[in-house]
Amino acid sequence: MVYFLYRRKPYNTGLSGWSRFFMYFAIEGVIGVGKTTLARMLQSSFDAELVLEVFEENPFLSNFYSDRARYAFQTQIFFLLSRYHQQRRNINERLDAGKTVISDYTFEKDALFARINLAGDELDMYYSVQEALAEKITPPNLVVYLRANTETLMRRIAQRDRPYERTMESQYITMLNQSYDDYYLGSSHTSHVLVIQTDELDFVSRNMDFEIIKARIVEALKEAPFQPQLPIS
């Protein structure tokens, strides 16, 4: 079964003036769900600038997947600071220039991983840094949350065969799924959320599936506040 859920949330950019109205949406979901692929496919339809997460540069990542307990804090702090600088530089510059922006991640995703990977003093220290940085980040108008069960995600991860993901455990993916669901299906986030179950969708090979997803995103963006006419092709 394919289903869509659109949750409305109060949205405030924290900025004033017509010059600050923009269209910025992010694709989110657990590892292997197809965030980057979908973002790339949507780019031309929305005449958008892409902001893609740079994660291969994390020097702790491959070691983290082999020994999570030992390398969790280093990996998490590196990602936090990297995501912060990427978002501040790449997204804000494009929005200030009046560009439509599509990203394959949100800044808030970092904390979803941290609550799984860290504990005790390390988690407390992480939150103190994360909360200070989050105040300077512009949230998206819409988050498209792609969902899939653990079996589907493990299959997709195996198919793309990234070397540093080969030792990834299904239990870890299950925990991430729960963390994402708790956040995006709950009430603690600040953006509008469109939830799309993707287990039976193949938007890469089946154009009809891609068009269904695109249509739902267009519909959700039209309902989001402060939106101008959408330049959709």
104 classed as catalytic: yes
User: What distance in Å separates the CA atoms of residue 115 and residue 128, rounded to the nearest whole number?
Assistant: 13
For residue 231, pLDDT beyond 70 = no
pLDDT at 227 over 50: no
Q: Which amino acid is at 205?
A: S
Tens-digit pLDDT profile for residues 176-205: 999 999 999 987 666 689 999 999 999 999
Is it the case that residue 232 has pLDDT exceeding 80? no
pLDDT at 98 over 50: yes
DSSP labels, 136-182: TPPPPSEEEEEE--HHHHHHHHHHHT-GGGTT--HHHHHHHHHHHHH
* CB within 8 Å of 182: residues ≥ 6 apart: none
Of the candidates 96, 104, 161, 199, the residue annotated as catalytic is 104
Q: State whether CATH 3.40.50.300 applies to domain 4-223.
A: yes
Residue-wise pLDDT for 70-97, tens only, equals: 999 999 999 999 999 999 989 988 988 8
Helix, strand, coil percentages in the chain from 3-state DSSP, rounded to 5: 50, 10, 35
Question: Average pLDDT for residues 152-178, to the nearest whole number?
Answer: 92
Cα–Cα distance measured from residue 196 to residue 147, given in angstroms and rounded to the nearest whole number: 6
Integer angstrom CA distances of residue 42 from 14, 102, 158, 195: 27, 8, 24, 17
Q: Band of the pLDDT at 20, cuts 50, 70, 90?
A: very low
Rg (CA), the chain: 17
36-73 confidence digits (pLDDT tens)? 999 999 999 999 999 998 876 889 988 998 898 899 99
The CA distance from 193 to 29, in Å, is 12
